[in-house]
Structure 1
Amino acid sequence: MDLISDVMAVLRTGRPFAGRFAQVAPWSDHRRGRPNGFGVQVMVRGSAVATAADGKSFTLDPGDVLLVPHGSPHLVADSPLTPPGPPCDESAEFAGAVIRSDNPEATHVMLCMAYELAPNRAHPLIATLPDFVHVKADPAERPELAQAVAMLDGELAEELRGGDTLVPALLDAVLMYLLRAIHGARHDQCGFSGWAQALADDSIAASLEAIHADPARQWTVASLGEVAGLSRSAFSRRFTELVGQPPQGYLTSWRLTLAARLLTDTDAPLASVARQVGYASEFAFAAAFKREFSSPPGQFRKLNPACDTGSGAPAGGPEPFRRLPVPA
Structure 2
Amino acid sequence: MVGQLEGKPTELVGSGIEIRDLFKSFGGREVLSGINVNITDGDIFGLVGVSGAGKSTLLRCINGLETFDRGSLHVNGVEIRSMRGATLRKFRSNIGMIFQHFSLLERKNVYDNIMFPMKCFGYNKAVADARVKELLQLVELTDKEKALPRELSGGQKQRVAIARALAMNPRILLCDEATSALDPNITKSILGLLKKINKELGITIVIVTHQMEVVKETCNNIAVLSKGQLQAAGAVQDIFLENSGHLNDFLGAHEVKTGEDNILFELIQRPGQEDMLSRFALSTGVPFEVVWGGLDRYVDSIAGSFTLSVSRQDFDKVRAYLEQSGMEWRNL
Tell me which interval the TM-score lies in, with the shorter structure as reference length: under 0.3
Higher-Rg structure is 2
For normalisation by structure 2, the TM-score amounts to 0.24
* Higher percent of residues as helix: 1
* Higher percent of residues as strand: 2
